[in-house]
């Protein structure tokens, strides 16, 4: 029985984690849940899985949650960042799945690592902001960090085919999102509802916008660099609209090993939860006879500059990736609120990167300070736009 503390239980990844726990109750016990603001769904999850304690984003929502749960839960309801950290460090948890979106995932993930918990990582921002620091903590505390993003899970699986010293490069696939074929004139007037209409995956609002700009792939490049100790020059991105090949590894002898599957997040989630075993998931099987039209193409860095900005931030190092992430979070929110245009997202990020300070990526205080400064700078850029 594996005991799981789940951060981000009401989001897309979180609900899929719970779907697996529901399918295999003899293998998983949910000991802690945290969510952002969805009181109704979190209430249902608590009543079904009966965790030791639960957390929600704000104190006022904690009071609302207390009114929807049995009285026995009222002393076990937490909130905010402290609540996330408490869930992530529960003594009974064997694994912490971090499925929250954004910078909010960094501190509880670090706390879980330092508490000796294995990590199922679906919060890419943790490694984007503080990859060197996080991976050093993983080594220091002897825990396992298992990727849940479909691309990183695919690479993790493909790497089993050979020795790490024989890897030539990593190849991340991107669907291209809903705007893959749009020209710049169309992108200038693209609306949030169009950007949210991902052709293959069901994701949250922020990740859907990141997929449309290809920033999501840029963040994944940074994450892959830290997860697999790979220089940016040895990481490639290709656009693969069908989302069947989830990523590939090329070895020095020219062999290319890929992981294929239907676009369903329960596959990489299940592998992370049970590695090195696999679960007999009740999912449709991939039909190769229906995959005759698989295609691959180079990403267009002119129409999708966010990807290039992410590579630049990774090469620059220091706190640049944290600045990239923070500015992007603010810009995506502004786009969703109708304050800026689609192309202004990358413009905002680029402007903030040009102002970023030089600081050590092993200094957590410096990383958090750069994050805060970038958010302030992004608001100023957006006001000017």
Q: Sketch the domain layout of the chain as residue ranges.
A: 2-147, 150-263+285-301, 317-385
Give the global pTM: 0.93
Sign of CA dihedral 351, 352, 357, 361: negative
The pLDDT assigned to 235 comes to 98
Phi-psi region of 282 (alpha: psi -120 to 50; beta: other; left: phi over 0): beta
Contact call for residues 346 and 330 (beta carbons, < 8 A): no
Question: Which DSSP state fits 174?
Answer: E
The pLDDT assigned to 201 comes to 65
Contact call for residues 204 and 11 (beta carbons, < 8 A): yes
Query: How does DSSP assign 239-257, residue by residue?
Result: E-TT--EEEEEEETTS-EE
CA-based nearest residue to 98, from 40, 146, 168:
146
The pLDDT assigned to 203 comes to 72
As a whole number of Å, the end-to-end CA separation of the chain is 53
Q: Which helix (H) or strand (E) holds 156?
A: helix 150-158
Helix, strand, coil tally for the chain in percent (to 5): 50, 15, 35
Contact call for residues 324 and 375 (beta carbons, < 8 A): no
Contact call for residues 67 and 43 (beta carbons, < 8 A): no
CA 31 to CA 7: how far, in whole Å? 11
Query: How does DSSP assign 185-224, residue by residue?
Result: HHHHT--HHHHT--SS----HHHHHHHHHTHHHHHHHHHH
Mean pLDDT by 10 residues, the chain (385 residues): 97 96 97 97 97 96 95 93 97 97 94 98 96 97 97 97 96 94 95 88 84 96 97 97 96 97 96 97 92 93 97 96 97 97 97 89 93 97 93
CATH code: domain 317-385 is 1.10.1740.10
CATH code: domain 2-147 is 3.40.50.720
Query: How does DSSP assign 269-320, residue by residue?
Result: HHHHHHTTS------PPP-GGG-TT---B---TTT-HHHHHHHHHHHH-TTH
The pLDDT assigned to 284 comes to 94
CA 172 to CA 246: how far, in whole Å? 7
The pLDDT assigned to 346 comes to 97
As beta bridge partners, residue 104 has none
Same fold flag, 2-147 and 317-385:
no
The pLDDT assigned to 329 comes to 97
């Amino acid at each position: 029985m594996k005991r799981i503390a789940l951060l981000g239980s009401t989001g897309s990844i979180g609900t899929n984690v719970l779907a697996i726990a529901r399918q295999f109750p003899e293998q998983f016990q949910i000991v802690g849940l945290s969510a952002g603001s969805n009181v109704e769904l979190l209430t249902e999850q608590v009543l079904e899985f009966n965790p030791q304690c639960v957390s929600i984003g704000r104190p006022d929502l904690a009071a609302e949650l207390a009114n929807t749960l049995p009285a026995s839960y009222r002393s076990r309801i937490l909130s905010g960042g402290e609540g996330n950290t408490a869930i992530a460090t529960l003594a009974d948890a064997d694994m912490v799945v971090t499925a929250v979106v954004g910078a909010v995932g960094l501190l509880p993930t670090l706390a879980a690592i330092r508490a000796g918990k294995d990590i199922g990582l679906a919060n890419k921002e943790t490694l984007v902001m503080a990859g060197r620091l996080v991976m050093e903590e993983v080594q220091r505390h002897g825990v396992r960090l298992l990727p849940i993003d479909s691309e990183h899970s695919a690479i993790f699986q493909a790497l089993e085919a050979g020795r790490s010293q024989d890897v030539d490069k990593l190849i991340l696939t991107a669907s291209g999102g809903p705007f893959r074929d749009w020209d710049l004139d169309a992108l200038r007037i693209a609306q949030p509802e169009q950007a949210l209409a991902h052709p293959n995956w069901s994701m949250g609002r922020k990740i859907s916008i990141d997929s449309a700009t290809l920033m999501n792939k840029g963040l994944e490049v940074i994450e892959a660099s830290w997860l697999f100790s790979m220089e940016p020059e040895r990481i490639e991105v290709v656009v693969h609209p069908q989302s069947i090949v989830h990523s590939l590894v090329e070895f020095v002898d020219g062999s290319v090993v890929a992981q294929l599957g239907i676009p369903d997040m329960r596959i990489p989630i299940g592998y992370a939860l049970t590695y090195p075993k696999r679960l007999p998931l009740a999912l449709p099987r991939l039909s190769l006879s229906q995959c005759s039209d698989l295609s691959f193409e180079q990403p267009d860095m002119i129409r999708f500059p966010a990807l290039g900005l992410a590579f630049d931030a990774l090469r620059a190092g220091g706190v640049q990736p944290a600045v990239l992430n923070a500015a992007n979070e603010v810009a995506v929110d502004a786009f969703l609120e109708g304050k800026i245009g689609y192309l202004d997202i990358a413009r905002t990020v680029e402007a903030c990167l040009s102002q970023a300070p030089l600081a050590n990526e092993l200094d957590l205080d410096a990383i958090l300070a750069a994050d805060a400064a970038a958010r302030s700078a992004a608001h100023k850029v957006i006001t000017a736009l």
